[in-house]
Amino acid sequence: MRYRRFSDCSVSEKMLDTLFILTLSAGYLLAMVLTYTVVGFSVKDIELKYYGNRSGTRLEAALNGPMRVYHNPPEHDEIVKWIYAGSTEKQYIAKIKPIIDEKCVKCHNPKSGLAIPDFSSYEKIKPLAAADTGMSIASLARVSHIHLFGIGLIFYLLGRIFILAEMPVWLKRSLVAVPFLAIALDIGSWWITKYIPVFAYTVLAGGVLMGISFAVQALTSLYQMWFYGPKGAETEKTSTEK
């Protein structure tokens, strides 16, 4: 039997496919911008997101980093001592709360309108004084299921367009499968990285593979739809998949 190819599509179908692919591409680029600004693309960034920074706390990192300017060295020592002594509530009330109230709460409060942690109570500040163990299972499950549904659907629809292209059968069969392997590699590695940080490399590899397969399928489809069309006898020969 003869399978449908781009040369069998009407112009309106090709327009629909083209606009769909262009819209997806814009979505893909914006997803990249979002990932870059929220996580970053380095292996270290990925490791911090999923595995965390188990040797330090977010509070201490901020005190040594951007929040350095808002307190003085004796206060710094006091807070760091409290973190390492187990960050108890009793000690907090006695020694730390006065510093936080005076130096930090003017920004770190729910009314500030800034997307920063609220320090108006011990319960709120305590998680930042504990070692950062990366993304929680609940967040991982939430982000994973959204991505599996979303990306799975996108590659299914893009793949339905792409299979109308002409190319050797072995190549097409591989290119149709690769994005799904990439999804499994990427998202599977998020979970493993939570426990074994070196898998940040496979997260990156999965993401890169996904991007490449998206580009290959989108560009091949657009090119063949509009600029390529074996005619006559040739069509019979090359467009019949066995």
User: What residues make contact with ligand HEC under the rule CB under 6 A?
Assistant: 58-59, 62-63, 66-67, 70-71, 103-104, 106-108, 114, 116-117, 128
Of 81 and 106, the one with the shorter C-beta distance to ligand HEC is: 106
CA distances in angstroms from 144 to 149, 189, 190, listed in the order given: 9, 11, 9
Of 121 and 240, the one with the shorter C-beta distance to ligand HEC is: 121
State the nearest-atom distance from the C-beta of 103 to ligand HEC, in Å.
4
Of 63 and 151, the one with the shorter C-beta distance to ligand HEC is: 63
Of 119 and 199, the one with the shorter C-beta distance to ligand HEC is: 119
Of 125 and 203, the one with the shorter C-beta distance to ligand HEC is: 125
State the nearest-atom distance from the C-beta of 139 to ligand HEC, in Å.
15
Contact yes or no for 122/89 (Cβ under 8 A): yes
Tokens of 189: 């590695």
Rounded to whole angstroms, the maximal C-alpha distance in the chain is: 88
State the nearest-atom distance from the C-beta of 13 to ligand HEC, in Å.
48
State the nearest-atom distance from the C-beta of 32 to ligand HEC, in Å.
22
State the nearest-atom distance from the C-beta of 191 to ligand HEC, in Å.
23
Report the SS3 class of residue 56.
Answer: strand
CA distance 118 to 116: 7
CA distance 52 to 134: 4
Report the SS3 class of residue 57.
Answer: strand
Say how many residues make up the chain.
242
Which residue from 46, 39, 53 is spatially nearest to 193, judged by alpha carbons?
46
Of 70 and 201, the one with the shorter C-beta distance to ligand HEC is: 70
Neighbours of 140 (CB within 10 A): 17
State the nearest-atom distance from the C-beta of 47 to ligand HEC, in Å.
16
**131-132/53-57 β-pairing:** antiparallel
